[in-house]
Amino acid sequence: MSRMRNAGACMLMALLCLPGIAFASAADDKLRACLEMQDKAPAEQTLECYNRAAQAQLAARAYRQTLAEQWAPAQDGLRSYKQIYFLAYSHSSDPNDAPTSPNPNNQVPYSYTQDNKEMKFQISVKGHMFGEDRTTLWFGYTQLSFWQFYDWGHSQPFRENNFEPELILSHRPKDWTLGSGLSTGFVNLGFVHQSNGQSLPRSRGWNRAYLQAGLEQDLGEQRTLVLLPRLWKRLGGGSSDDDNPDIEHFLGHGDLELRYHHKDMGVLSALLRIHSVQLDLALPSTLVTSLLHSTNLHLQYFNGYGESLIDYNHKHHTLGIGISMPFE
């Protein structure tokens, strides 16, 4: 696991050190060149320069929404929240046949050997509730499911479903830029419940309050680096009926998500926690096949604890392939 944490740290450093990270975008360079032309070139030439710069700005913004735009007040119903994907095949190194917990009421007796291959999918949406300025209230819902589709002998059961509703108070700062050109798209305060909806002994769940920042860097040439650091505090827990009293030991007190967007090459993302790393690569369908239309070919690798709530204290690694919807 230390090797995987080191790999995650190396990837973070590599992303942060990509060429051009501390400089303005190519579109901004074109605009700056036009400003320098004023009073030095014919008006028609200067106007044409501004026209080309405006087109470059529009092209640079068209391939994805900024973080601030993703949390702007919306009247268009539900919008995507976290990544939406469907893995048609996901292989586990060590299926969890008898989930455990320090609570004796949550010891799951062995029944049969779980299939080491399954389908995995995530659906995640958010809806704007109220607020029309820079501070808005949202409702979010994410569902992560593990389907033993290939286990025909046991009637293809859903091994685990994780349900995650949350309330999110989002604030979009105005012109708040950190060092190295990182701009702050949002600061979110959230209250989230996560559970698997099971009865004893398989029941798992917890409640948290969290603070998350959304930072992004325009790398130019329609490339963007996004950082989403999050810290949380567990609410409640520790009582005699706690399904998973040691969950913070395995999942920690926060996480860090990184996304590297490239208009033509897709999105590489990493979700880092204290004892786990998840890597996702979404490749545009135009790079693979025209049959996928507006979806991406999606590859995912997970290593560590807590891929699902029932596996919060179970270590394994999985590799999956499927499709995903493009990020906003």
Q: What is the pLDDT of residue 322?
A: 96
The secondary structure element, H or E, covering residue 220 is: strand 205-220
Comparing CA positions, the residue from 238, 308, 305, 296 lying closest to residue 277 is 305
Q: What is the pLDDT of residue 3?
A: 42
With beta carbons less than 8 A apart as the criterion, state whether 233 and 211 touch: no
Q: What's the residue count for the chain? A: 328
Q: Return the CATH architecture of domain 2-24+67-324.
A: Beta Barrel (2.40)
Comparing CA positions, the residue from 146, 143, 136, 196 lying closest to residue 171 is 136
pLDDT digits (tens, 9 = 90+) for 224-243: 999 999 999 999 988 889 99
**Euclidean distance between CA atoms 8 and 302, whole angstroms:** 12
Q: Which residues are catalytic?
A: 193, 195
**Euclidean distance between CA atoms 45 and 51, whole angstroms:** 10
pLDDT by residue for the chain (328 residues), tens only, comes to: 444 344 344 433 333 333 332 333 455 566 677 777 777 777 777 777 767 766 665 554 445 788 999 999 877 789 999 999 999 999 999 999 999 999 999 999 999 999 999 999 999 999 999 998 899 999 999 999 999 999 999 999 999 999 999 999 999 998 777 667 789 999 999 999 999 999 999 999 999 999 999 999 999 888 999 999 999 999 998 888 999 999 999 999 999 999 999 988 899 999 999 999 999 999 987 665 555 567 899 999 999 999 999 999 999 999 999 999 987 6
Q: Indicate the domain borders of the chain.
A: 2-24+67-324
Runs of H (alpha helix) within 167-256: 247-251
Three-state secondary-structure class, residue 45: helix
Q: Tokens 């290593």 map to which residue? A: 303
Comparing CA positions, the residue from 229, 144, 127 lying closest to residue 195 is 144
Cβ atoms < 10 Å from Cβ of 315: 17
**Euclidean distance between CA atoms 85 and 136, whole angstroms:** 27
**Euclidean distance between CA atoms 118 and 97, whole angstroms:** 14
Q: What is the pLDDT of residue 208?
A: 98
Q: What is the pLDDT of residue 298?
A: 95
β-sheet bridge partners, residue 89: 321
Comparing CA positions, the residue from 319, 324, 224 lying closest to residue 284 is 324
Q: What is the pLDDT of residue 183?
A: 92
**Euclidean distance between CA atoms 229 and 214, whole angstroms:** 7
**Euclidean distance between CA atoms 284 and 64, whole angstroms:** 13
Q: What is the pLDDT of residue 54?
A: 65
Comparing CA positions, the residue from 181, 205, 179 lying closest to residue 192 is 205
**Euclidean distance between CA atoms 191 and 140, whole angstroms:** 10
**Euclidean distance between CA atoms 41 and 19, whole angstroms:** 32
β-sheet bridge partners, residue 233: 209
**Euclidean distance between CA atoms 52 and 25, whole angstroms:** 14
**Euclidean distance between CA atoms 33 and 46, whole angstroms:** 10
With beta carbons less than 8 A apart as the criterion, state whether 276 and 303 touch: yes
**Euclidean distance between CA atoms 247 and 102, whole angstroms:** 10
- 198: which DSSP letter? P
Cβ atoms < 10 Å from Cβ of 152: 9
- 177: which DSSP letter? B
